[in-house]
Amino acid sequence: MPQKVNAGLAILEEMKDRLPRSERKIAEYILKNPKESINFTAVELGKKSGTSSAAVIRLCKSIQVNSFQDLKLRIAGDLQHERKDVRDIGPNESFETMVEKITHQSIRSLRETTNMLDMEQLSNAVKTILQADHIYFFGVGASGIAAMDAQQKFMRIHKQCSFYPDAHLAATAVANASKNDLIFGISFSGETHEVSKILEIGMKAGAKTISLTRYGNSLVADLAEINLFTASSLEPAFRSGATSSRLAQLHVIDILFMCVATSTFEQTIGYLDATRMAIDDLYQKVPKRKSANE
């Protein structure tokens, strides 16, 4: 499997506020000086950041990167592309500026989320979805939109699946899950209490679990057997509607759906044709009932 050669800077941005003090100092130094940092050894970077080589190694472990060399390769890949800062919305900005800002943020969110996808975890997620007898998608708020979208997509290709916007209903359903079922929890922060509890209930029932969260360790990710991540450092404070994160979640769901679809291509085409015809039939004129005298 090819080594990842990008997303180093995005990962550091995602994780820096959740790191211990010495590791955070290294992350902040790299983010300010990425070009020179990729030429340092761990010892040199430790000295430059006022920490130590041991702290550099701990940083790599904390951000779930294989080694310092792996991190440097990722950062070098990032430097091949210009990375503009994300600016929040200001007062009385022109519509033209809004179009440019939102488009830029959306494209960057999709790109960085794609770069963060672990192909082994993605492959495991696809296999688990294919083998599942029933999939329970669950998310709260904006993440619930992604969960509902997933349920709608996979239902179209004959996967038995459910989405419950109410946590009580979800808990009731998941409590009766079996070892062949799958609980798919979606949470932008990874700390949503309801999502973590649904995963926990599913685990107790013996079901398999997948999480979709921001990058790194979190309550929700730690409860799941398979972890899928989105970029989250792009979410400015003003946008409480979670625009970038929601788009990133939908992007991952689309990737999962297409990977499942291509793995069962002939069946998928048949199911999609059948559902398309069913929708078309909804808009056909309903024939009048014959009266008793006819």
pTM of the predicted protein model: 0.83
Query: In this predicted structure, what is the pLDDT of residue 240?
Result: 42
The model's pLDDT over 273-283, given as tens digits with 9 standing for 90+, comes to: 888 888 888 88
Residue 112 and residue 10 in contact, taking contact as beta carbons nearer than 8 Å: yes
| Crossing angle of helices 167-174 and 193-204, rounded to 10° | 10
Residue 48 and residue 56 in contact, taking contact as beta carbons nearer than 8 Å: no
Per-block average pLDDT, block size 10, for the chain (294 residues)? 68 90 95 94 95 96 92 89 63 85 84 90 97 97 95 94 95 96 96 97 96 93 96 55 80 96 89 88 76 61
DSSP state of 18: G
* Rounded Cα–Cα distance for residues 34 and 54 (Å): 20
Q: Could you say which of 1.10.10.10, 1.20.1250.20, 3.40.50.720, 2.60.120.460 is the CATH number of the domain covering 8-78?
A: 1.10.10.10
CATH code assigned to 116-279: 3.40.50.10490
Query: In this predicted structure, what is the pLDDT of residue 85?
Result: 58
Burial of 1 (0-12, 13-18, 19+ CB in 10 A): exposed
Instruction: Parse the chain into domains and list their residue ranges.
Output: 8-78, 116-279
Query: In this predicted structure, what is the pLDDT of residue 262?
Result: 92
